[in-house]
Amino acid sequence: MCGIVGYVGSEAALGVLVDGLHRLEYRGYDSAGVAVVGDGAIEIEKCAGKVGDLASRVDDSGIAARAATLGIGHTRWATHGAPTGINAHPHSDCTGRIAIVHNGIIENHRSLAAALRERGHDLKSATDSELLAHLLEEGLSEGRSLSEAALEVLGEVEGSVAMVTIDRDDPGRLVAVRRDSPLLVGIGSDSAVVASDIPAILEHTRRVVVMSDGQVAEVGPGEITVFASDGAKVAVEPKEINWDLQSPEKAGYPDFMLKEIHEQPSAIRDTIRGRFEDGKLRLDEVHGDEGFLRNINKIVVVACGTSFHAGMVAKYAIEHWARIPVEIDLASEFRYRDPVLDDKALVVAVSQSGETADTVAACRYAKSLGARVVAVCNVVDSSMAREADAVLYTRAGPEVGVAATKTFTAQMAAMELLALYLAQVRESLSSHEIGEIATELGRIPGLVDANLESWSEQAKRASQSVGRSKDFFFLGRGVGYPVAMEGALKLKEISYLHAEGYAAGEMKHGPIALVEPGVVVVVIATSGHVKAKVLSNMQEMKARGATVLVIANDGDDAAIEEADFAFTVPEVSEMLSPLIDVVPCQLFAYEIALSRGLDVDKPRNLAKTVTVE
Ligand code: G6P
């Protein structure tokens, strides 16, 4: 995974690199490093910790070549090798002539490492990435140029590679290589920035070349030469990026997570804005060919993490309203299970970032089987937005907190709109019914807004009473099930406590064996056609000594009185209830994490965007 950046130009490279790494930290933050080409030598500074730790070291120390104008940087999310200083990138070859940064996974690293050791190379780290430096070293020693050597290395390694490399003996350029992990090159008038993502480039230039798989680029100040995998030169035309970076601020909140939880009303509002007008849903981005939408034989939703839970809600909504069979699959499973798809299938790929490697790969695979792909994502121009046949953007604004909150509610709102749109096209609901649901959806932001403060108070009290427990179950049925899954995920992501989301009816088939005094069970029991059954499941937990927290509708005394603690939420129609019910779960996780003194914005071991399989 990881974020990589490279600079060549007339400015001091160090500042550009550290600034770029700060902007890419969402891709990983367990260790970081930079390398610059100084006076006839490569200088490397790297350490375990976040980019801020690296920045202090760079300021205090270390690197003598402060005016160097060529360099590379990396912020890491460990795959092979612990997050230590030695394993941090950049990595160098045996001679110290070159340094590389890498984003991806080298699948045949064992055999390559063994062969390199046999040929006398001294591998210092436990990473797969370091091999690249040694393989390049061999190519150079045989008289190839750095880009020729890079092309050859790409043929030797299996797996995903985005790599930028510098050569002590050629301080005027970088070489960049891309396969399966993203890499972009910003071309300024007398500089160039290579990076995993646009935010690290935009400050320097808006002209960007998106490298394609299998390509190698020689990048100099203001210039780029691209080679295809057969070594032939490829003409490339930079594209103009016409959007601006919004620099997210905490706006008075103690952290981004709380701010983003509070931004959910506007995230939902902005996502639905303009998409239901004059009694009709208008999803201009998706409509394409209504004939196709009328004849879809099935929909497959693919996603990872929190986005998968939004996809689960979509399954309930699409099947209920549009009467189209929906499968949902984890993107990491989808393409390896031999799915049955044809040109009548619609694949909906849900992803906040639009860069998750598994979901991007799932899109490509679905297209190769002839299916149409709609991406639901939050980042304009992301890889998935480019791959898909159509994009339904969530408009949640940039999300900084690693544990997704506002993008989740925005995704659910977008998917509910998609479900209603399909119902409109296929006439499975009357326009009156669609109008009523869409109008109610429009009221949800106001309801969330009106309740945020009281849920915060309830979450503080609940965390004081159960925050020391070690085991949590979140239970729900119907659309309460994805809410339970997401509630459990939030808690484990930011509080590092064991939490499981379960379909409430499934507890009796095994997990109930774990329930005893001290276990906390959070039950999603808002109104819906399965509420009575959820309440029976809640009794089963109580009977076995669990402490029960319920999420129930205001005034639902039967549910509230049976529980040890209640979060009360306004009643809305069943299909829309996840948009409300998940918010107290987010606040509950937040308060518990805070009470444990944890960094809610950057939880350990996680990354905002996961660009490895
Ligand atoms: C990472 C993040 C999760 C996110 C998942 C999917 O694991 O930490 O918060 O849900 O990736 O990301 P996506 O960008 O595809 O929604």
Q: Which ligand 1 atom is at minimum distance from the Cα of 303?
A: 15
Judge whether residue 108 has pLDDT over 90. Answer: yes
Which residue's C-alpha comes closest to atom 8 of ligand 1?
A: 608
Q: Which ligand 1 atom is at minimum distance from the Cα of 403?
A: 9
Beta bridge partners of 523: 475, 550
Specify whether 2 is catalytic: yes
Q: Return the best residue to mutate from 261, 384, 609, 611 for the ligand 1 pocket (most ligand atoms within 8 A of CB).
A: 609
Q: Residue 287 is encoded by which pair of tokens? A: 């409509």
Predicted pLDDT at 175: 98
Judge whether residue 288 has pLDDT over 70. Answer: no
Q: Residue 388 is encoded by which pair of tokens? A: 């898909």
Q: What is the mean pLDDT of residues 29-54?
A: 95
Q: Residue 19 is encoded by which pair of tokens? A: 């600034």
Judge whether residue 596 has pLDDT over 90. Answer: yes
Q: What is the mean pLDDT of residues 295-319?
A: 97
The three-class DSSP label of residue 611 is coil
Place of tokens 């977008």: 414
Q: Which ligand 1 atom is at minimum distance from the Cα of 404?
A: 9
Element (H, E) at 329: strand 326-330
Q: Which ligand 1 atom is at minimum distance from the Cα of 359?
A: 15
Closest CA to 549 of 597, 491, 598: 491
Give the total residue count for the chain. 613
Q: Residue 396 is encoded by which pair of tokens? A: 């949640």
pLDDT band at 338 (very low <50, low <70, confident <90, very high): very high
Q: What is the mean pLDDT of residues 76-102?
A: 96
Predicted pLDDT at 254: 94
pLDDT band at 243 (very low <50, low <70, confident <90, very high): confident
Name the residue with higher pLDDT: 381 or 107: 107
For residues 38 and 95, is the Cβ–Cβ distance under 8 A? no
State the amino acid at position 76 in one-letter form: R
Ligand 1 centre from 353 Cα, in Å? 7
Closest CA to 398 of 252, 243, 254, 283: 243
Pocket lined around ligand 1, Cβ cut-off 6 Å: 304-307, 351-353, 356, 359, 402-404, 606-610
For residues 455 and 559, is the Cβ–Cβ distance under 8 A? no
Report residue 210: phi and psi, to 5°: -90, 110
Judge whether residue 63 has pLDDT over 70. Answer: yes
For the chain, give the mean pLDDT.
Answer: 94
**CB neighbours (10 Å) of residue 117?**
12
Name the CATH superfamily, with its identifier, for domain 7-240: Aminohydrolase, N-terminal nucleophile (Ntn) domain (3.60.20.10)
Judge whether residue 95 has pLDDT over 80. Answer: yes
Order the strands of the 91-92 sheet from edge to edge: 91-92, 98-103, 161-167, 174-179, 215-220, 223-227, 233-234
Which residue's C-alpha comes closest to atom 5 of ligand 1?
A: 305
Q: Which CATH class is domain 446-604?
A: alpha beta
Catalytic residue among 46, 50, 602, 608: 608
Pairing of strands 207-210, 239-240: antiparallel
Ligand 1 centre from 267 Cα, in Å? 17
Q: What is the mean pLDDT of residues 45-68?
A: 89
Judge whether residue 196 has pLDDT over 90. Answer: yes
State the amino acid at position 75 in one-letter form: T
Place of tokens 């984890």: 330
Judge whether residue 248 has pLDDT over 80. Answer: no
Judge whether residue 295 has pLDDT over 80. Answer: yes
Give the span between the Cα atoms of 67 and 140, in whole angstroms.
27
Query: What pTM value is reported for the model?
Result: 0.88
Predicted pLDDT at 109: 96
Judge whether residue 258 has pLDDT over 90. Answer: yes
Q: Which CATH class is domain 250-429?
A: alpha beta
Predicted pLDDT at 6: 98
Q: Return the best residue to mutate from 608, 611, 612, 613 for the ligand 1 pocket (most ligand atoms within 8 A of CB).
A: 608
pLDDT single digits (tens) 362-414? 999 999 999 999 999 998 888 899 889 999 999 998 899 999 999 999 999 99
Q: Return the best residue to mutate from 2, 330, 352 for the ligand 1 pocket (most ligand atoms within 8 A of CB).
A: 352
Q: Residue 328 is encoded by which pair of tokens? A: 């949902």
Judge whether residue 285 has pLDDT over 90. Answer: no
Predicted pLDDT at 563: 95
Ligand 1 centre from 488 Cα, in Å? 15
Ligand 1 centre from 610 Cα, in Å? 7
pLDDT band at 609 (very low <50, low <70, confident <90, very high): confident
Instruction: Kindly state the percentage of the chain with pLDDT values over 90.
Output: 87
Closest CA to 342 of 368, 308, 381, 318: 368
Ligand 1 centre from 77 Cα, in Å? 14
Domain ranges of the chain: 7-240, 250-429, 446-604
Instruction: Kindly state the percentage of the chain with pLDDT values over 70.
Output: 99
Instruction: Answer positive or negative: Cα dihedral of 356, 362, 365, 366.
Output: negative
Q: Return the best residue to mutate from 415, 610, 612 for the ligand 1 pocket (most ligand atoms within 8 A of CB).
A: 610
pLDDT band at 64 (very low <50, low <70, confident <90, very high): confident
Beta bridge partners of 240: 207
Pairing of strands 520-524, 547-553: parallel
Ligand 1 centre from 294 Cα, in Å? 31
Q: Which ligand 1 atom is at minimum distance from the Cα of 353?
A: 14
Ligand 1 centre from 24 Cα, in Å? 15
For residues 348 and 324, is the Cβ–Cβ distance under 8 A? no
Closest CA to 302 of 212, 371, 386, 241: 371
Q: Residue 384 is encoded by which pair of tokens? A: 């998935």
Predicted pLDDT at 382: 87
pLDDT single digits (tens) 198-240? 889 999 999 999 999 999 999 999 999 999 999 999 999 999 9
Name the residue with higher pLDDT: 458 or 246: 458
Give the span between the Cα atoms of 138 and 119, in whole angstroms.
10
pLDDT single digits (tens) 464-505? 999 889 999 999 999 999 999 999 999 999 999 999 999 999
Predicted pLDDT at 234: 96
Give the span between the Cα atoms of 469 and 596, in whole angstroms.
12
Place of tokens 């390199």: 116
Q: Which ligand 1 atom is at minimum distance from the Cα of 306?
A: 10
Order the strands of the 207-210 sheet from edge to edge: 42-48, 31-37, 70-76, 3-8, 192-195, 184-187, 207-210, 239-240
Order the strands of the 326-330 sheet from edge to edge: 326-330, 298-303, 345-351, 372-377, 390-393
Give the span between the Cα atoms of 33 and 54, in whole angstroms.
7
Q: Which ligand 1 atom is at minimum distance from the Cα of 407?
A: 16
The three-class DSSP label of residue 552 is strand
Predicted pLDDT at 61: 72
Closest CA to 129 of 173, 180, 74, 190: 74
End-to-end CA distance of the chain: 9
pLDDT single digits (tens) 400-452? 999 999 999 999 999 999 999 999 999 999 999 999 999 999 999 999 999 99
Catalytic residue among 2, 304, 377, 585: 2
**CB neighbours (10 Å) of residue 242?**
8
Identical fold, 250-429 and 446-604:
yes
Give the span between the Cα atoms of 545 and 549, in whole angstroms.
13
Q: What is the mean pLDDT of residues 284-290?
A: 76
Judge whether residue 290 has pLDDT over 90. Answer: no
pLDDT band at 583 (very low <50, low <70, confident <90, very high): very high
pLDDT band at 1 (very low <50, low <70, confident <90, very high): low
Order the strands of the 547-553 sheet from edge to edge: 498-503, 471-476, 520-524, 547-553, 565-569
Specify whether 377 is catalytic: no
Which residue's C-alpha comes closest to atom 15 of ligand 1?
A: 351
